[in-house]
Amino acid sequence: MIPKAHIKNVGVLRAGHVEQLQRMKALGERVMKANFGDEGRYVFHFHNPPFNSIDHLHLHCFQRPFNNCLRAVQNNDFFCWTSDIDDVMKAAASKL
C-alpha cells in the first residue's frame, strides 16, 4: 500500500503520521481478509533505509507461512531491513 502524500521512508515518520499508518494497516487487514480469509497470520511491514527499494513509503502485506525460503528471509522482522508496522507506529508516536 502506498499513501498519496509523499513520505520518503520510515526514518522521517513522526507523531503526525500515526493516523495515516493506522489507516494503512486497517486497509491492509481488510484486503488480506477479503483475499485470504480471517486467519490472522498476516505480516505488515516496511523496508528500512537503506534497504528500501524506492524512496516513497509503502507497506508490504503478506500472509504466513511463507512457501519460499528467500521470501521468508526477505520478509522477516528479525533482520534489520524490515520493521513491523506496530513498531513503526510506536516509534513515530514518540517523535514530535
Active site amino acids: 60
- SS3 label, residue 78: coil
> Is 58 exposed, middle or buried, given 0-12, 13-18 or 19+ CB atoms closer than 10 A?
middle
- CB 42, CB 34: distance < 8 Å: no
